[in-house]
Amino acid sequence: MEPNRAEIKEKYEADKYDRRAENILLDESKGELYVDDIHWKKISNARKPYGQYIGSIKSLGVLDGKRILELGCGTGWLSVIFCKLGATVVGIDISRELVKIAKKRSYINRVESQTDFEVMSVHKLLFPAESFDLVYGLSLLHHVDITKCIPEVKRVLKKGGMSVFSEPIIISHFVEAIRKKVPVPIDDDPSFPAPPLQHSDIKWIMSQFSEASVRYYRLFESLDRVSDNRNFIRIMQLIDQLCLPVWPINKLARQIVIQLRGPS
């Protein structure tokens, strides 16, 4: 049987990230696989969901004692943080080489007993139904076929379980037009683009769950490309928190956190 387009794209993604893994391994001697306390305690102690990154993790709630599936786990950095916050984690990725790094990272951070990393497609999760309390994905959905991935997420979630995704998004046609005109260097094959999610994608994803909510991010915070001053970025995040819940300003957001829950 000939592979379909989704399978061909997965092979392309796997090869691309396998090549990137070689550079990551070259930096291993610098101790970059260790996740120090500053990183995970910053997330644990955050009182506000500053930025979509911390915001998406805080949306998961208390992690102690929870079983988490991380889709597209990459090098396992977030999986280690989840473990340090008390969870057990299964991480999957399409890249065999990234999974090797994730396993090494869990060992270096002494959480290997709390983790299991596997090479697996998000289109066909090899787990029994109702296996996980939480499913998490960071910048994953816009790379995959959501009509195959989302039903699998629903299947492996326990009753009342929750899934959280942080994704790039374009809602405004005006913003989309600007994005297409501004040259942004990318290393993707134009045959396999990974464009941000559209409004129709978000609407369909939310319709698949009994409860769904969204939070919008990165309007003024996008100015971090102009300045990397932490105080400046924090102020931009605070302005975003005030402005982005308001329609139609939220149509200008560049990132979204989707929180999804199945029936109890």
pLDDT in tens, 224-245: 666 677 777 777 777 777 777 7
Q: Which residue has the higher pLDDT, 218 or 104?
A: 104
Q: What percent of the chain has pLDDT over 90?
A: 44
Residue ranges of the domains in the chain? 5-258
H-assigned helices in 182-262: 199-207, 230-243
- For the residues 184-194, what does the mean pLDDT come to? 55
Per-residue buried b or exposed e for 20-34, using 16+ beta carbons within 10 Å of the residue's own CB = ebeebeeeeeeeebe
User: Is 124 within 8 Å of 152 (Cβ atoms)?
Assistant: yes
Average pLDDT of the segment spanning 10-34? 72
DSSP, collapsed to helix, strand or coil, labels residue 74 as coil
Best CA proximity match to 84, nearest among 116, 41, 53: 41
Highest mean pLDDT among 141-145, 177-181, 185-189: 141-145
Domain at 5-258, CATH homologous superfamily: Vaccinia Virus protein VP39 (3.40.50.150)
Q: Judging by DSSP bridges, how do beta strands 115-119 and 88-93 pair with one another?
A: parallel
What average pLDDT does this structure show over 156-162? 96
Would the pLDDT of 181 be above 60? Answer: no
Share of the chain above pLDDT 70, in %: 75
Tokens of 174: 């005006």
Name the band, by pLDDT with cuts 50, 70 and 90, for residue 180: low
Q: Within 13 Å and on the Cβ side, how many CA atoms surround 214?
A: 22
**What pLDDT score does 96 carry?**
94
Please report which confidence band the pLDDT of residue 58 belongs to, taking 50, 70 and 90 as the band edges.
Answer: confident
Burial class (CB in 10 A: 0-12, 13-18, 19+), 99: buried
Q: What pLDDT, on a 0 to 100 scale, did the predictor assign at position 49?
A: 47
Over 90: is that where the pLDDT of 185 sits? Answer: no
Decide: 221 and 236 in contact? Cβ < 8 Å.
Answer: yes
**Better-scored residue on pLDDT, 11 or 76:** 76
Output the pLDDT for position 31. 61
Q: Are 192 and 9 in contact (CB under 8 A)?
A: yes
Half-sphere exposure (CA, 13 Å, Cβ side) for 221? 21
- Give the best-scoring range by mean pLDDT among 32-41, 129-138, 199-208: 129-138
Q: 255-261 and 211-217: which strand pairing?
A: antiparallel
Residue environment code for 42-75, b if the CB has 16+ CB neighbours within 10 A, otherwise e: ebeeeeebbbbbbbbbbbbeebeebbbbbbbbbb
